[in-house]
Amino acid sequence: MSSNSDNWQELLRHYEATVNLSLHKRFDADPERAKKFGFECGDLWIDIAKQKVDAETIDLLFALAEESGVNDFFHSMSSGNIVNLSENQPALHTFLRRPLSHENNKELRSVSENINETFNRMSELEEKIKNKQLFGFSGKPINSVVNLGIGGSHLGPFMAFEALRDYANPEIEMRWSSGLDTADLDDALQGLDPESTIIIICSKTFNTSETISVASRALNWLSSGGVSNTVSQVFAATSSPKNALSFGVLQENIFPFSESIGGRFSLASPVALGLMISIGSKSFKEMLNGMDVIDQHVLEVPRNIPMLLGLIDVWNNSIFGINSLAIVPYSYRLRYLPAHLQQLMMESLGKSVSTEGEPLKIKSGVAVLGASGTDAQHSFFQMLHQGTEAIPVDLIGFAHLSDETSQELIANLIAQAETLAFGQDVDEIGNPLLPHKILSGDKPSTVILAPSLSPSILGQLVALYEHRTVSAAVTLGINPFDQWGVEFGKQSAIEIANELATPEIVSNRDSSTKALMARYRHWRDATP
Ligand code: F6P
């Protein structure tokens, strides 16, 4: 998309013409608004009526998507073509959840057959552990799993594990560790028996320093716990099997996946082996099927719902100039969804050059924040209601979570959407506090409702946000699948760690960095 295109200029004109049209006025002008802007998508109900859009806005946004080739992009991606241009790779995450029977293309069939074979191996491991047929070196049946990984090798599977705890096998203790801080792994290992525990190392590259460091400590824990043949209790999910073999993982314990599956898009990949062991391959397959429902919707419906949500993100961010997005699931079990979507949306859209390497002339990407429902209301909702800048919020709710509180949670969700949109007049004329108490309203929100938080619906939600993010990126003309910005920081950290460990090195870094390093050394070397 070019910011000089007719569609873009038409959209800017439309913005100027409608920016001051409040939600109040938009609803007053069209009694059918709620009906026109509510949509089914799989088992999800998506309500965008409280976004600052109208029918013309949506038409102009879809025209922009058409000009940007968003539909063609999804079909090309789904055909295994190279769509990640800066890394010269396809993006194969939708192949992970596509039933083998759907694959007619001979070349692509081999991709799907490899995926299917790995899933069958994962399922066999899950079955063995469930049936107490997998034994540690001393003959104890395995009943505990410690999952190691960071970023996309942690956030998605961990979020899904917590979301689907009601489907977890109570006889298997699942633990998760992602960070470099030893306290993270210590807590994960707390109370476990090394002789009945397996370690799953999830790392696409198998050279992420944090994960390798944590994995080494986890293996030390196994051996210091009496496990002499540690490798028999170590598994790996990676697109770099050679690196896993070099680390010492046995070939038969490696679950490979394509390097063309991005970390933040890898929930359906072998990095979710721990999740599958916990909830079972049947529930895991239901999650994949839910993802595939949305994948097929995107391919079959040109003006599809994930694209519409991505276009509204472009409208709010790149045209309205809003810099944040709040994700608020009214579900305790879904409380880690915002963290997963933070990586998905910010690592995909946080770019400043186009796919051709040209500096972007428009804003791209927002800061994603979030927390679970009523907790968020007692945390950052003040700013949502009375801040100087509107922060669009996704309010996600479920009809059946628990008999006691589902209705109250949904009532809170609906009340917040209403108050954000229409505000609250305060008829206390003469009250000096009046200015402080008025809620202006006109704050945009999208409501996403579903019958329950099942594996299928979780899969639909995740795929909805994946395709929403990709749609926004392609409309903006950026690559959603690379992340060059995080590579340099890793290298710099290795150099600074080396300088901190080697006092004779004279650092040529900036004065602030050197001052911070000196401050750390002062405390490090002071006698406690
Ligand atoms: O943050 C950079 C990143 O490469 C993410 O994209 C990725 O999910 C994470 O690091 C972990 O990478 P790996 O799975 O290779 O350990």
The per-residue pLDDT for range 285-298, each reduced to its tens digit, is 999 999 999 999 99
User: Which pLDDT score is estimated for 103?
Assistant: 72
Residue nearest to atom 6 of ligand 1 (CA): 263
Least confident of 1-10, 174-183, 247-256: 1-10
**pLDDT average, residue stretch 465-492:** 93
* Per-position b or e across 277-297, b if 16+ CB within 10 A of its CB: bbbbbebbbbbbebbbbbbbb
Percentage of residues of the chain with pLDDT beyond 90: 87
Which atom of ligand 1 lies at the shortest distance from residue 239's CA? Answer: 15
Q: If you measure from the C-alpha of residue 165 to the centroid of ligand 1, how many angstroms do you get, rounded to a whole number?
A: 25
Q: Is the CB of 392 under 6 A from ligand 1?
A: no
Domain with CATH 1.10.1390 in the chain: 484-525
Contact 168, 221 (CB under 8 A): no
Token pair 């079990």 in the structure block, residue: 333
Q: If you measure from the C-alpha of residue 240 to the centroid of ligand 1, how many angstroms do you get, rounded to a whole number?
A: 13
Q: Is the CB of 208 under 6 A from ligand 1?
A: yes
Q: How many helices (H) and strands (E) does the chain have?
A: 20, 13
**H or E segment to which residue 265 belongs:** none
Tell me the pLDDT band of 4, cut-offs 50, 70 and 90: confident
Q: What single letter denotes the amino acid at residue 45?
A: W
Tens digits of per-residue pLDDT, 390-409?
A: 999 999 999 998 778 999 99
pLDDT at 236 over 70: yes
User: How many angstroms separate the CA atoms of 103 and 114, rounded?
Assistant: 12
User: Which pLDDT score is estimated for 489?
Assistant: 77
Tell me the pLDDT band of 415, cut-offs 50, 70 and 90: very high
Average pLDDT, the chain: 95
User: Catalytic residue among 162, 347, 466, 499, which?
Assistant: 347
Estimate to the nearest angstrom the gap between the alpha carbon of 514 and the chain centroid: 35
Residue nearest to atom 8 of ligand 1 (CA): 152
Which atom of ligand 1 lies at the shortest distance from residue 205's CA? Answer: 15
Least confident of 44-48, 337-341, 407-411, 434-438: 434-438
Q: If you measure from the C-alpha of residue 171 to the centroid of ligand 1, how many angstroms do you get, rounded to a whole number?
A: 31
Tens digits of per-residue pLDDT, 257-313?
A: 999 999 999 999 999 999 999 999 999 999 999 999 999 999 999 999 999 999 999
Contact 364, 314 (CB under 8 A): no
pLDDT at 428 over 90: no
User: How many angstroms separate the CA atoms of 316 and 276, rounded?
Assistant: 37
Which atom of ligand 1 lies at the shortest distance from residue 240's CA? Answer: 15
Q: Is the CB of 150 under 6 A from ligand 1?
A: yes
Q: Is the CB of 213 under 6 A from ligand 1?
A: no
**pLDDT average, residue stretch 207-235:** 94
Q: Is the CB of 152 under 6 A from ligand 1?
A: yes
Contact 465, 328 (CB under 8 A): no
Would you call 113 a catalytic residue per the annotation?
Answer: no
pLDDT at 491 over 90: no
pLDDT at 450 over 90: yes
User: Which pLDDT score is estimated for 2?
Assistant: 67
User: Residue 417, SS3?
Assistant: helix
C-alpha closest to that of 131 among 252, 280, 272, 23:
280
Which atom of ligand 1 lies at the shortest distance from residue 155's CA? Answer: 8
**pLDDT average, residue stretch 186-207:** 97
Would you call 490 a catalytic residue per the annotation?
Answer: yes
User: Residue 198, SS3?
Assistant: strand
Domain with CATH 3.40.50.10490 in the chain: 6-68+303-425+432-476, 101-283
User: Residue 324, SS3?
Assistant: strand
Q: Is the CB of 385 under 6 A from ligand 1?
A: no
Tens digits of per-residue pLDDT, 217-230?
A: 999 999 999 988 99
**pLDDT average, residue stretch 423-428:** 79
User: Which pLDDT score is estimated for 1?
Assistant: 66
Class level of CATH domain 484-525: mainly alpha
User: Residue 83, SS3?
Assistant: strand
Residue nearest to atom 3 of ligand 1 (CA): 151
Per CATH, the architecture of 6-68+303-425+432-476 is what? 3-Layer(aba) Sandwich (3.40)
Would you call 347 a catalytic residue per the annotation?
Answer: yes
User: Residue 25, SS3?
Assistant: helix
Q: If you measure from the C-alpha of residue 208 to the centroid of ligand 1, how many angstroms do you get, rounded to a whole number?
A: 7
pLDDT at 159 over 70: yes
User: Which pLDDT score is estimated for 31?
Assistant: 96
Give me the DSSP letters along 218-260: HHHHHHHTT-SSGGGGEEEEES-HHHHHHHT--GGGEEE--TT
Per CATH, the architecture of 101-283 is what? 3-Layer(aba) Sandwich (3.40)
| φ and ψ at residue 285, rounded to 5 degrees | -65, -35
Least confident of 127-131, 315-319, 429-433: 429-433
Q: If you measure from the C-alpha of residue 275 to the centroid of ligand 1, how many angstroms do you get, rounded to a whole number?
A: 18
